[in-house]
């Protein structure tokens, strides 16, 4: 781009000088004369080719990123499915810890998780003032403590796998 700026500056200075020396010259004559004196057309053509190349690469990269996002989602889903299978197998065999050279796998109990069944029925005590937003932590704590609440309940919990890499 610096080359374009330099060539443009040369072109404009020469154009002004030619116009000052030959005020009677028309635009076509000035353009033809300048074409032979400067490389502006060649430099512009180089920048246009470079721009087209950049746009082509950007479009290809945009497509590649979309493909890679799909691949990422597929890999994340596969890992999630495998973790669930590991948790199920370890839970079924009552194996709480698996020690491997590269990692330690532990079966951990998960605390009950809040499940909102009818948000509109939850008392205002569990809504945080602002724009209305459910105080999920407060509601979860109250349900864990045994407080009744219409519109929400706790799940039965579950198990998950924790992998610690050494």
User: What digits encode the pLDDT tens for the residues 42-78?
Assistant: 888 888 888 889 999 999 999 999 999 999 999 999 9
Indicate whether 72 and 8 sit together in one domain: yes
Q: Is the pLDDT of residue 88 over 80?
A: yes
Q: Is residue 87 in some structural domain?
A: no
Number of domains in the chain: 2
* Domain span at 36: 2-77
Q: Is residue 25 in some structural domain?
A: yes
Of 49, 77, 105, which one is at a domain's C-terminal end? 77
Q: Is residue 127 in some structural domain?
A: yes
Instruction: Identify the band that residue 166 occupies on the pLDDT scale cut at 50, 70 and 90.
Output: low
Residue pLDDT, tens place only, 118-129: 999 999 999 988
Q: Is residue 150 in some structural domain?
A: yes
Q: Is residue 86 in some structural domain?
A: no
- Exposed, middle or buried: residue 139 (CB in 10 Å: 0-12, 13-18, 19+)? buried
> Quick one: CA torsion of 10, 11, 12, 17, rounded to 10 degrees?
90
């Amino acid at each position: 781009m610096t080359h374009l700026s330099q060539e443009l500056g040369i072109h404009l200075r020469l154009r002004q000088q030619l116009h000052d020396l030959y005020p009677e010259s028309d635009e076509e004559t000035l353009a033809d004369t300048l074409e032979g004196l400067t490389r502006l057309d060649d430099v512009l053509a180089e920048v246009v080719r470079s721009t087209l190349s950049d746009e082509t690469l950007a479009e290809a990269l945009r497509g590649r990123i979309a493909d890679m996002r799909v691949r990422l989602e597929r890999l994340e889903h596969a890992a999630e499915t495998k973790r669930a299978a590991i948790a199920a197998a370890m839970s079924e065999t009552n194996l709480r810890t698996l020690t491997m050279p590269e990692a330690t796998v532990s079966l951990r109990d998960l605390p009950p998780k809040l499940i909102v069944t009818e948000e509109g029925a939850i008392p205002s005590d569990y809504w945080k003032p602002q724009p209305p937003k459910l105080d999920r932590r407060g509601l979860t704590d109250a349900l864990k403590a045994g407080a009744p609440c219409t519109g929400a309940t706790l799940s039965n919990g579950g198990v998950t796998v924790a992998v610690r890499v050494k």
